[in-house]
């Protein structure tokens, strides 16, 4: 059993939504950093750290879903 299996779905979803979308106003931080990344404006180390920290729970949720699908298939 891996770490991904130990995290239950409701917790993973809530953490991904809260950290991925925080702060909620004026726009989600992750969305702001992704726009900066695609515009080529992501230069400071703090911006990269913010992108990593706000994107990590969503990446964890995607990895958990991929593992669940793989286990279900075979």
Domain boundary assignment for the chain: 3-67
Nearest to 13, CA basis, from 65, 67, 61, 63: 61
Digit-coded pLDDT (tens) for 18-71 = 988 888 888 888 899 999 999 999 999 999 999 999 999 999 999 999 999 998
Digit-coded pLDDT (tens) for 37-50 = 999 999 999 999 99
The Cα 70–Cα 57 span in angstroms is 20
Task: Give the DSSP per-residue string, 15-45.
Answer: HHHHHHH-S-SSS-HHHHHHHHHHHT---SH
Q: What is the DSSP letter of 7?
A: S
């Amino acid at each position: 059993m891996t770490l991904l299996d130990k995290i239950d779905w409701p917790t993973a979803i809530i953490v991904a939504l809260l950290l991925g979308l925080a702060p909620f106003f004026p726009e989600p931080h992750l969305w702001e950093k992704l726009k900066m990344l695609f515009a080529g404006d992501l230069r400071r180390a703090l911006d990269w750290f913010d992108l990593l920290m706000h994107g990590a729970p969503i990446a964890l949720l995607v990895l958990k879903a991929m593992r669940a699908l793989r286990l279900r298939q075979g």
